Structure 1
Amino acid sequence: MSETFLPELPQELWRAGKLELAHGVQQSLRVIRTATAGLGQFLAEIESRGVKDLYGYGSTANWFADMAGLSLGEARPVVKRAIALNPTRALDGTEVPAVAPATAAVAAEGMVGNERIDQILEILKKLPAETSAEDRTSAEKILADLARDAGPRQLAEAEANLLAWLDPDGNEPKDPEPKEPRRELTLERRKDGFWKLNGLLDDEAGARTAAALEAYAKPRPVDEFGQADLRMKCERLGDAWVDLLDLAIACPDQPGTSGYRTLVHVTIGLEELKSGLGTACLDFVGTMTAREARLAACDCLMLPVVMNAAGEPLDVGRLRRFVTPGQRRALNIRDGGCAFPGCHRKPKHCHAHHIDHWVDGGPTDLRNLVLLCGFHHRLIHHGDWEVRLAADGLPEFIPPQCRDPLRKPRRNTLHHT
């Protein structure tokens, strides 16, 4: 084994030119690789003699890990590479030839690093079992010579060519056993009334989920008042999740809902619901304000449960559907989407809003209904905007005085020419 030395460094490295710097890197790499190859020869010899007899360890990798201050995971590939590149001896003293002697020779010259060595060893494993010793030797020499100057891509191309030469028919095709996709989801209600959603998706399901959420999480366009969408990305994704949930619930084939948007069990008196004061219970899992219940009741199933002062149920009303499928189709045609000025949301993302709320005696007919997306539905219920049907039967919106002192009625012109 030849003796190697580190290249001499100039006393002031900052004075070195670009060629001198490049030469220094090349020389340092060569010294490191040559020293690594020499280390492999020592490890192969220890493996041949038996590390248990020499040092009392169960494996060469365990001894090397302690000697070098490495983890076992770091030491194992070094020892494995050393045994593959160098000849060893069996227990009876017979020599075990190296798996890749040509690669070992190139490594000893400092011309190839560990990454390319491992790549060559992996390629050799893929050669057909019936490959002759002569063909295997030739293939390894081709790869070793190529590795002097080639990168990983060139070696991968050489692998394809070698396999095509040695095994032109390839392996017999067989259908792999499909793996069960790993998908997890947990949903729990926190003490503050919010729900915490955690999940783990496989790559395909995650990509589909991300694509669906991104499609509905785009910022809303700037409205005619110059108001931009100020929601953060996480907030837009949360609203997109609700949009997708509404779409799923509205599907006629949806189990348990049959196309109904929401089933609300109102466990307060109807008078309280009319006044907007008090609380309601949503599907017996949590509370919501009466004001929120009024919003949900626009386009859902409502099951009123009338309570007395002591909290005893007096009567459970019958399930009532507020907007019929025919009315919904007519609304979709008339409004073309969210009717709020400047909103681009399509009908499938909209709720049917009662202009005069049903709890206030408003009828469920087209003259009292308008399509609104979730955002503008909340704005109408909780803000100072007003909506009405004009003389021509189309909805128009009156802004609050703080937005327009003249309160000029406005319409959405995006859905119809």
Structure 2
Amino acid sequence: MSETILPELPQELWRAGKLELAHGVQQFLQVMRVASAGLGQYLAEIESRGVKDLYGYGTTISWFADIAGLSMGEARPYVNRAIDLNPTRALDGTEIPPFAPATGAAAAEGAIGAERIKQILEILRQIPAEVSVEDREHAEAKLAGLARDAGPRQVSDLGEQVLGWLDPDGKEPKDPEPAQPRRELTLQRRKDGYWNLKGLLDDEAGARTAAALEAYAKPRPVDEFGQADLRTKAERQGDAWVDLVDLAIACPDQPGTNGYRTLVHVTIGLEELKTGLGTACLDFVGTMTAREARLAACDCLMLPVVLNAAGEPLDVGRLRRFVTPGQRRALNIRDRGCTFPGCHRRPKNCHAHHIHHWADGGPTDLRNLTLLCSFHHRLIHHGDWQVRMAADGLPEFIPPQYLDPLQRTRRNTLI
């Protein structure tokens, strides 16, 4: 094993130029790789001599885990990689050649690191046993040579070409029928009222989910006031998930909802419902603000439990203010999407909003309804924007004074 000299570390890194920083990273990276390869040579030699005779341990993995302060699972890859890349000896002293000698040579030079080594070994293990030694060695030499200068994608592509050349028929399927894809999903409510969503999807379902989220999680375009979408990617994907759930619930064939939006039970005081101040009990398990209840009431199938001041139910289980499918179709044709100025969301992504809220006596008819996407629906309920129906029967919006001191009415010209 060649001697490796550690690069000199500048005393004040902040004075270093960009080339010096880059060269320092490259030097230390090579030192780390060479040191890892040297460690592997030691571990292979210990495996050859017998760790039980040397140190009294049952396996090299358990010994290395003990001295390195690692778990058995963490130590196993080090030892297995060392045996794959370096020659060992049998009990009679005969040498056992390494599984991947060309890869081991590249690792010893510091040309490739642990991730590329793992990738090459995984490809080599897919080569059928009946392939000749010469072909196998040639394939490994190609992979190890490419890995010196290329990234994971190029190595993977070459691996596919090699396997296609050495094993054109592929592996014989073990099962006559494809296995059921593994898909898991858990949804758990936390004490603070938020919900934890965790899941595991097979490759096909994951790709479809990612495509759907990407389509709905695009940043909102800058509006006419120059306000950009400041949500993080995770926040945009969270909002996209809600949009997809709303879209699924609104499907006419959706079991249990018959194409109407979410069915919720809300327990709320009459005054809280009218004023939007206070809290409400949601589905008997959580809480929501009265303002959120007013927002949800615009386009949800609600079973309200309205209480008087003494806490006695005034109205239990009667469906209220609910937009019919015919009204929804008429809204889709008239509004053609979210009517907020500058918004481009289509009807399927919108809620039906009561301009004069139904809790305040507003009727559920087309003259009192307009389509709003979830973001602008919340903005109308919680912000300073106002919406009203103009004389021509179309909705128009009044911006807050801090955006337009004259508060000139605006309409969506994109739909």
TM-score, structure 1 as length reference = 0.69
Q: Secondary structure at the match of 1:370?
A: strand
In the alignment, structure 1 residue 196 sits paired with structure 2 residue 199? no
Distance 1:162 1:314, change over 3 A: closer
- Whole-Å separation in 1 of the counterparts to 2:317 and 2:69: 76
CA contact 2:40–2:81 (8 Å) conserved in 1: no
Are the aligned partners of 1:102 and 1:140 in contact in 2 as well (CA < 8 Å)?
no
Number of aligned pairs?
380
Say whether the 8 Å CA contact 1:147–1:155 is kept in structure 2.
no
**Offset from partner CA, 1:395-415 (integer Å, 9 cap, x none):** 122233443333322211111
Match of 1:46 in 2: 49
Deviation at 1:216, TM superposition (A): 2.2
Structure 2 contact 182–202 (Cα < 8 Å) conserved: no
Which deviations, in whole Å up to 9, do the C-alpha atoms of 1:261-282 show, x marking residues without a partner?
2334343344542243443222
Residue 262 to residue 72, structure 1, CA distance change in 2 (3 Å): closer
**Which stretches in structure 1 are left out of the alignment for 5+ residues?**
10-20, 22-27
Code of the residue aligned with 2:76 in structure 1: it is G
Matched, 1:76 2:79: yes
Determine which structure has more spread, i.e. the larger CA radius of gyration: 1
After superposition, the Cα gap between the structure-2 partners of 1:80 and 1:328, relative to the gap in structure 1 and judged at 3 Å, is same
1:113–1:328 CA distance, 2 compared to 1 (3 A): closer
The residue aligned with 2:230 is 230
User: d(CA) in 1 for partners of 2:268 and 2:2?
Assistant: 88
Cα distance 1:312–1:177, how it changes in 2: closer, same or farther (>3 A)?
Answer: same
Classify the secondary structure of the residue corresponding to 2:333: helix
SS in structure 2 at match of 1:268: strand
Q: Distance in 1 between matches of 2:218 and 2:194?
A: 23
CA RMSD of aligned residues (A): 4.8
Which residue of 2 is the match for residue 283 of structure 1? 283
Question: Alpha carbons of 1:364 and 1:128: their partners in 2 closer, same or farther (altered >3 Å)?
Answer: closer
> Partner of 2:378 in structure 1?
378
Task: Quote the Cα distance in structure 1 between the aligned partners of 2:37 and 2:386.
Answer: 81
Give, in angstroms, the shift of residue 56 of structure 1.
4.8
Q: Whole-Å Cα distance in 2 between the matches of residues 276 and 44 of structure 1?
A: 73
Whether the 8 Å CA contact 2:340–2:397 is kept in 1: the answer is yes
Counterpart of 1:17 in structure 2 is none
Question: Which amino acid in the other structure matches residue 323 of structure 2?
Answer: V
Distance 1:303 1:158 in 2: 60
Look up the SS of the partner of 1:304 in the other structure: strand
SS at structure 2 position matched to 1:267: strand
* Structure 1 pair 228–271 and aligned structure 2 pair: CA distance change class (3 A): same
Flag the 1:113–1:198 CA change in 2: closer, same or farther, 3 A.
Answer: same
Partner Cα separation in structure 2 for residue 188 and residue 89 of structure 1: 57
Q: List gaps (5 residues or longer) in structure 2.
A: 7-22, 24-30, 149-153
Map 1:318-357; keep pairs closer than 5 Å.
318-320=318-320, 322-357=322-357
Deviation at 1:164, TM superposition (A): 5.0
Partner Cα distance (2:356, 2:120) in 1: 76
Q: Identical aligned pairs, as a percentage?
A: 62
Instruction: State the Cα distance separating 1:334 from its structure 2 match.
Output: 0.6
Which amino acid is the alignment partner of residue 385 of structure 2? Answer: W
In 2, Cα distance between the equivalents of 1:358 and 1:231? 31
Secondary structure of the structure 1 residue equivalent to 2:400: coil
The aligned amino acid for 1:178 is A
Q: Which amino acid aligns with 1:414?
A: L
Structure 1 residues 19-74: Cα deviation after superposition (integer angstroms, max 9, x where no partner): xx9xxxxxx9xx99998999699658635xxx656765545666788899998536
Give how far 1:96 is off. Answer: 5.8
On the 8 A contact 1:85/1:99 being kept in 2, the answer is yes
Aligned-residue offset at 1:229 = 2.8
Mapping for residues 1-400 of structure 1, pairs under 5 Å = 46=49, 52=52, 56-59=56-59, 72-73=75-76, 76-77=79-80, 80-81=83-84, 85=87, 88=89, 98-99=96-97, 128=128, 135-136=132-133, 138-139=134-135, 164=165, 171-175=171-175, 178=179, 180-191=181-192, 194-202=193-201, 204=203, 205-320=205-320, 322-400=322-400
- The 1-side partners of 2:216 and 2:377 are apart by 17
Q: How far apart are the structure 2 equivalents of 1:227 and 1:236?
A: 16
Secondary structure of 2:76's partner? helix
1:329 Cα offset (Å): 0.6
- CA deviation profile, 1:243-269 (whole Å, cap 9, x unmatched): 222212212222332222233434334
Distance 1:68 1:266 in 2: 58
Give me the TM-score of the superposition, normalised by structure 2: 0.69
Q: Does the 8 Å CA contact 1:384/1:400 hold for their aligned counterparts?
A: yes
Is the contact made by 1:120 and 1:143 (CA closer than 8 Å) also made in structure 2?
no
Q: Supply the AA of the counterpart residue of 2:226.
A: G
In 2: Cα distance, 1:65 partner to 1:299 partner: 60
Does the CA-based 8 Å contact 1:367-1:393 persist in structure 2? Answer: yes
Q: Is the CA contact (8 Å cut-off) linking 1:267 and 1:281 kept in structure 2?
A: yes
Partner AA of 2:329 in structure 1: R
Output the CA distance in 1 between the equivalents of 2:299 and 2:332: 14
CA distance in 2, matches of 1:237, 1:155: 30
2:268 alignment partner, SS class: coil
Tell me, yes or no, if the aligned pair for 2:183 and 2:202 is still in contact at 8 Å: no
Aligned residue for 1:18? none
SS of the counterpart of 2:247? helix
Amino acid at match of 1:283: D
The offset of 1:306, in angstroms, is 3.9
The CA deviation at 1:339 is 1.0
What is the one-letter code of the residue matched to 2:195?
K
Deviation track 1:64-88 (CA, whole Å, cap 9, x = no partner) reads 8889999853663366348x845x5
Q: Which residue of 2 aligns with 1:25?
A: none
Q: Distance in 2 between matches of 1:396 and 1:170?
A: 63
